[in-house]
Amino acid sequence: MKSLLTAAFAMLTLAGCAGMEAADCRAANWYDLAFRDAILGLQPQDDLYARWCSPHGVQPDRARYREGWIHGYYEQQQRQTQSVD
């Protein structure tokens, strides 16, 4: 499981170097992006998304992002606790 998360993180990191296209910014589900970020063990990335999307005239919905990140973080903590048991 850990190697799968490491591989996913590496792929997202490499993909992240390209930023986000205008269509990606407009269609983004900020809750889902944040949930994924938290599950992968990342700190909130809303500032990074704001930087990538700002040139396209799009700002992240920070309230939805924060909500998704908190839920994802909670889920990650639950999974870690269950794997220890």
C-alpha dihedral sign at 10, 33, 66, 52: positive
Angle value at C-alpha 5, between 37 and 7, nearest 5 degrees: 110
What confidence tens digit (pLDDT) does each residue in 39-73 have? 999 999 999 999 999 999 999 999 999 999 999 99
What confidence tens digit (pLDDT) does each residue in 4-24 have? 555 555 555 544 456 899 999
Which pTM does this prediction carry? Answer: 0.75
Cα–Cα distance list, 46 to 2, 39, 50, 60 (Å): 25, 15, 6, 7
Do residues 31 and 65 make contact, with C-beta atoms less than 8 angstroms apart?
A: yes
Do residues 68 and 35 make contact, with C-beta atoms less than 8 angstroms apart?
A: yes
pLDDT (mean) for 30-44: 97
Q: How far apart are CA 39 and CA 32, in angstroms?
A: 10
| Share above pLDDT 70 across residues of the chain, in percent, rounded to a whole number | 76
